[in-house]
């Protein structure tokens, strides 16, 4: 067998037993539970916690989780966050494996990645591709903006949602979340660093606090001459591709085309750096921001606003 195929096989073998199928049921007009869709997920803790997508379990009145050994267990919703399209479930059973979580900061464009999921009900389907872009902002079908997204060309289909994106070491580096309808070879995953931060809040509080600016962003390299001229420590910054109407950013001096290099007086290299600052409850105040505009370094302020809270499940 060729070496590349063996690498893929070995990586899948490390993770596949932690991948689950999720079936959702809702009540019909006769008050009877009916199948209402399915998706994927993966177990990430020894006490049975599962990552999946918020849209997979939205409105569910019963959630069934199927393990690779065909055991089917009812899942409990711990919490969900539509803004990142993430949800946490819990199962009370044994005999399952736990996926190893990696570090999305180590990812590089061109790196091989592997998706595992249950597209169209075909359990534990494997696809592979490469990382096409990092630090994207994605608009979901619901109209929400999801930051810290990994773009790849690994084929995803309906049913893959919530499954793991892994590297060749078998470590989860993203939670598969979306495909672009009508586009060729464009699929997206929420990076695992963001997912871990969201999980911590959902597990502890059942909901997520975060502020927002209303920006669509892309991580970009900063011209070395500009870095040297302004004595910047950043090699990268966040390129503003779009500013949402009637958003905190639209009421500031930010412009599309700016490259954000600092937020809240801290260097901003990745979208996760910005997300981390916006997750602090004291950020709802006038906050310093620095950008490169053309070749100038500009400093001004922005007032982040709080997202509408998602109520904890009962």
Residue 193 CB coordination number (10 Å)? 22
Query: Can 55 be counted among the known catalytic residues?
Result: yes
d(C-alpha 242, C-alpha 218), whole Å: 10
Q: Choosing from 40, 161, 187, 247, which is the catalytic residue?
A: 161
Q: How far apart are CA 77 and CA 312, in angstroms?
A: 9
Of 55, 66, 147, 262, the catalytic one is 55
**d(Cα 163, Cα 160) in Å, to the nearest integer?**
6
CA pseudo-torsion sign 252, 257, 262, 268: positive
Distance of CA 90 to the CA centre of its chain: 19
Q: Spell 79-109 as b/e; 16+ CB within 10 A means b.
A: bbbbbbbbbbbbbeeeebbbbebbebeebee
Of the residues 23, 81, 83, 85, only one is catalytic, namely 85
23 is catalytic: no
- In the annotation, is 30 catalytic? no
Tokens (6 digits) for 26 = 């809702």
Catalytic residues: 55, 85, 161
């Amino acid at each position: 067998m060729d070496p590349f195929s063996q690498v893929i096989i070995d990586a899948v073998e490390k993770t596949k037993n932690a991948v689950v199928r999720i079936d959702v049921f809702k009540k019909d007009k006769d008050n009877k539970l009916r199948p209402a869709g399915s998706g994927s997920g993966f177990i990430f803790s020894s006490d049975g916690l599962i990552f999946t997508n918020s849209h997979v379990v939205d409105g569910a009145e019963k959630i069934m989780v199927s393990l690779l050994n065909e055991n089917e267990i009812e899942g409990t919703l711990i919490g969900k966050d539509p803004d990142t399209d993430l949800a946490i479930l819990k199962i009370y059973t044994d005999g399952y494996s736990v996926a190893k979580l990696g570090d999305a900061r180590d990812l590089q464009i061109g790196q091989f990645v592997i998706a595992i999921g249950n597209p169209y009900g075909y359990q534990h389907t494997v696809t592979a591709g490469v990382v096409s872009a990092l630090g994207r902002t994605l608009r979901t079908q619901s109209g929400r903006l999801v930051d810290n997204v990994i773009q790849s060309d690994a084929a995803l289909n309906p049913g893959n949602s919530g499954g793991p994106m892994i590297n060749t070491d078998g470590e989860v580096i993203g939670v598969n979340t979306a495909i672009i309808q009508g586009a060729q070879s464009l699929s997206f995953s929420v990076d695992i660093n963001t997912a871990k931060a969201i999980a911590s809040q959902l597990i502890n509080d059942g909901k997520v606090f975060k502020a927002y600016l209303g920006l669509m962003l892309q991580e970009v390299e900063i011209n070395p001459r500009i870095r040297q001229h302004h004595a910047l420590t950043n090699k990268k910054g966040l390129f503003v591709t779009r500013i949402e109407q009637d958003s905190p950013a639209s009421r500031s001096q930010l412009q599309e085309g700016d490259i954000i290099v600092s937020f809240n007086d801290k260097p901003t290299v990745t979208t996760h750096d910005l997300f981390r600052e916006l997750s602090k409850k004291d950020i709802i105040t006038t906050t310093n921001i620095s950008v490169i505009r053309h070749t100038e370094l500009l400093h001004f302020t922005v007032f982040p606003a709080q997202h509408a809270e998602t109520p904890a499940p009962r």
